[in-house]
Structure 1
Amino acid sequence: MEPEDPHFEEPAYTIPLDDVLAFVRKKTEHPGAAPGSDLFADLHCTGKAFSSLVTDFGRAFNVDVSGYQWYFHTDEDDHSIGTMLFKPPNERVQRIPVTPEMLWVMANEGQWNIAYPEHEIPSSRADILINILLFLAGALLLAYIAKRW
């Protein structure tokens, strides 16, 4: 049942839903955030801001967030040429929404409780390697031009 349901009874948790909502509203700068709001899609909390929110949430509510896998919940802030050839981790999995209500349950359980599906993410990032190689090639080209100038 959703908390907006008039028949909803809040479980006997020690951390109130309102505390988690206040935290999310402050971090996302969305005063209208509701218990069922998707942090990514509805509140536009993405990339590093999303991961920062999760880290700060862990500290604020004493939650072990070591099981958090960013690529299931948000995208990367940075755009790269390498992603035109190789998919980044977040494009290799189906996104799982995170809501304030889910965070509230986690706050009371003391751990990041999302069970991720089995998946394979390459240990090395070919998209980042391409970016590094392009940067080095550009730097060498500039050095060559500067030397000849």
Structure 2
Amino acid sequence: MDPEEQPYEQPVYTIPLDEVLAFVRMQTKRPDAGADSDLFADLHCTGKSFNKLVEAFGREFNVDVTGYKWYFHTDEDDHSIGTMLFKPPNERVQRMPITPEKLWVMANEGHWNINYPEHELPSSRADIFINILIFIAGALLLAYIAKRW
């Protein structure tokens, strides 16, 4: 048989979808989570909670999540004055939904299998720099007021 004519073999999935669904339901505290539920939009798993879920997922199912890029899937928890002037990473790319079904495939493949599009992020975060400057200015102002009082 010609190698090009060989039938495509379906991968063998040893981890059942129900296990991944149970994990997602426990992590998000959403018993209504379905296989096609968007963790961010449907289950409201965002920011640090989303990142903790991914880390726990990697440990629970022995998945290499080093390729995970948070800014494609969720937002930052913290509100920032600097983001009024400079976009944070998650606003510089198009969001890519993650579902329990996608996690199930990754659990069986053993790695974070998302192919991210070419993108370029600034080497530094101007929005965070603005926040630091505002914090320092506020602290100096408070120190000055406290000294004068």
1:12 positional shift: 3.1
**Count of residue correspondences:** 140
Identity, in percent, stands at 80
Residue in 1 aligned with 2:47?
47
1:121 positional shift: 0.7
Residue in 1 aligned with 2:80?
80
1:81-115 Cα offsets, whole Å, 9 max, x none, are: 00000000000000000000000000000000000
Residue in 2 aligned with 1:125?
125
Alignment of 1:1-149 (within 5 A): 12-149=12-149
Unaligned runs of 5+ in 1: 1-9
1:140 positional shift: 0.5
For 1:82 and 1:136, the matched residues in 2 are separated by 14
Unaligned runs of 5+ in 2: 1-9
User: Max radius of gyration: which structure?
Assistant: 2
With structure 1 as the length reference, what TM-score do the two structures score?
Answer: 0.92
CA distance 1:109–1:117, change in 2 (3 Å): same
1:11 positional shift: 6.1
With structure 2 as the length reference, what TM-score do the two structures score?
Answer: 0.92
How much is the aligned-residue C-alpha RMSD, in angstroms? 1.1
Q: Point out 4+ residue stretches in structure 1 off by more than 3 angstroms.
A: none
